[in-house]
Amino acid sequence: MASSSRPVLRSLLGAATLAAASLAATPALAQADWCKSKWGPNDQVGALNLLTPAMTQNAAKLIKTGKTYRLGVETNAQTPAFATRTWSVLIQQPGQAGGGSLGPTKTTYNDDIYMGYTAVGSQLDGLGHIGVDGVYYNCNKQAEFAQPDGLKKLGIEQVPAIATRGVVLDMVAYTGKNPVPEGTAFNRKEIDEQAQRQGISIGTGDVVLFHTGWQDLAYKDKKRFLAGEPGLGKEGAEYLISKGVVAVGADTWGLEVIPFEKGVGVFEVHQILLARNGVYILENMDTSELVKDKAWEFMFTLGASRITGGVQAIINPIAIR
């Protein structure tokens, strides 16, 4: 395990013990139907069921300049990652040992082999990523669908093509601090006030991104970057769900605020979004250019890699304004 990952992992393990009692007492956990999808027992798509062709058409109307933005960060062996996650690439020249080539035109080529976690760098958390005591979205039990050779349900290949409205909230401007300090929670008050300042609203089918300036620390101060972060609070997550959003992301490695809010369990915001409501999570998003251009709303597009049975996916969403 990388030494820079240990502080947050230790703190999370410690928090788990304290959170266990409060989680056990949470009324929602006692309800047998907390995990059921409103779209039926066979649903594996979650909140993306809300998207319609009309939403895509309306998002396209936001394109005024045609400028595109890559929201993914570069991924390499030095990319800071949570806990034991690592990443590397191996380049080979098959059949060309000793400088050989192929055929009369002397063809040469390179192939690449990626080794590591798909949860390194910019990533999409699928619905099979986080559960509650072994139960995941739409009441799928870990023992029944999570197998070593891939998820038998809720795999990343189920994620449909996404083309909808996206919005970014500049929390650096809201707090006046760059980066926004770790432990700063974004809840209804902060979300509403900054949206109002930017002259935008949040509605059904939206993808909401938070800009905190945290990504600037990724290589400058990896230890601090991984030890905590500003982010979405529990009330904020529930509020965005009530708005009908389909995904929530940030320029941080874990989206939700760390240290966790008082009385909030370990990655409980992940549980609320993914397991309970089928709302996807986007981590390590590059929101800097959007904020620089004050591109507060835009067309958001994403086609996740269709790796059968995958839990997460390395992604590079594109914003168009």
Give the HSE-up count for residue 211: Cα atoms under 13 Å, Cβ half-sphere: 25
> Confidence class of residue 97 from pLDDT cuts 50, 70 and 90?
confident
CA 277 – CA 288 distance, rounded (Å): 29
Nearest one of 219, 214, 293, 193 to 258, comparing CA atoms: 214
Given this model, what pLDDT does residue 8 score? Answer: 55
Q: Does residue 95 sit in the same domain as residue 173?
A: no
Q: Does residue 143 sit in the same domain as residue 90?
A: no
Mean pLDDT of 284-291: 98
Report the share of the chain in percent with pLDDT over 90: 88
Supply the range of the domain harboring residue 161.
3-84+120-320
Given this model, what pLDDT does residue 32 score? Answer: 65
Cite the beta strand spans of 104-257 per DSSP E: 111-116, 123-125, 135-136, 140-141, 146-147, 150-151, 162-170, 185-186, 207-211, 231-232, 247-250
* 74 has pLDDT over 70: yes
Instruction: Give the model confidence (pLDDT) of 168-226 as tens digits.
Output: 999 999 999 999 999 999 999 999 999 999 999 999 999 999 999 999 999 999 999 99
Q: Does residue 303 sit in the same domain as residue 213?
A: yes
Given this model, what pLDDT does residue 33 score? Answer: 87
Instruction: Give the model confidence (pLDDT) of 289-301 as tens digits.
Output: 999 999 999 999 9
Q: pTM of this prediction?
A: 0.90
Between residues 128 and 30, the one the model is more confident about: 128
Mean pLDDT of 92-97: 92
Contacts of 275 (CB under 8 A, 6+ apart): 35, 127, 130, 131, 132, 135, 136, 137
What average pLDDT does the structure give for the chain?
92
Q: Does residue 148 sit in the same domain as residue 239?
A: yes
CATH number at residue 278: 3.50.30.50
Asked if 248 and 208 count as a contact pair (C-beta separation under 8 A), the reply is: yes
Nearest one of 170, 186, 208, 183 to 289, comparing CA atoms: 170
Q: Does residue 314 sit in the same domain as residue 229?
A: yes
Instruction: Give the model confidence (pLDDT) of 264-274 as tens digits.
Output: 999 999 999 99
Where does a domain end: 95, 115, 135? 115
